[in-house]
């Protein structure tokens, strides 16, 4: 995975026509600091509608910014570190909101 420092970035979700072999095309575009040009960092094609969300990194938890402010403390608590016999360990399923 490349880490790119950019002046700005753009995520474009493009719905495809029936002529294409996938329903959606997602572009991650950016403008580098060195030159005023738009570059495409990656392109992903899928038949499933892309999921778009904004999160906030709090240091010990990542929370969903789309959630109302009143629910954020409950969300942080829900994603908190789980106690185990070996000390504190992150429960990744709860942390990322996976129910599996």
Of 32 and 67, the one with more pLDDT: 32
pLDDT computed for residue 99 by the predictor: 54
Q: Nearest to residue 64, comparing CAs of 52, 51, 54, 74?
A: 54
- The band of 81, judged by pLDDT with boundaries at 50, 70 and 90, is very low
pLDDT computed for residue 82 by the predictor: 46
Residue in this structure with the two tokens 């942080």, named with its chain if needed: 76
Please report the DSSP string for 34-54 in residue order: SSS--EEEEEEEESSPPP---
- Residue 29 pLDDT > 70, yes or no? yes
Of 68 and 43, the one with more pLDDT: 43
Of 23-37, 48-62, 63-77, which range is least confident? 63-77
Of 46 and 35, the one with more pLDDT: 46
pLDDT computed for residue 11 by the predictor: 93
- Percent of the chain residues topping a pLDDT of 90: 29
């Amino acid at each position: 995975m490349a880490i790119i420092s950019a002046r700005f970035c753009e995520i474009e979700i493009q719905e495809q026509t029936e002529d294409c072999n996938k329903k959606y095309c997602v572009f991650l575009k950016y403008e580098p600091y060195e030159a005023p040009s738009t570059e495409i960092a990656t392109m992903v094609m899928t038949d499933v509608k892309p999921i778009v969300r904004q999160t906030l990194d709090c240091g010990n938890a990542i929370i969903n910014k789309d959630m109302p402010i009143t629910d954020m403390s409950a969300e942080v608590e829900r994603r908190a570190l789980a106690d185990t016999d070996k000390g504190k360990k992150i429960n990744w399923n709860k942390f990322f909101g996976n129910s599996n």
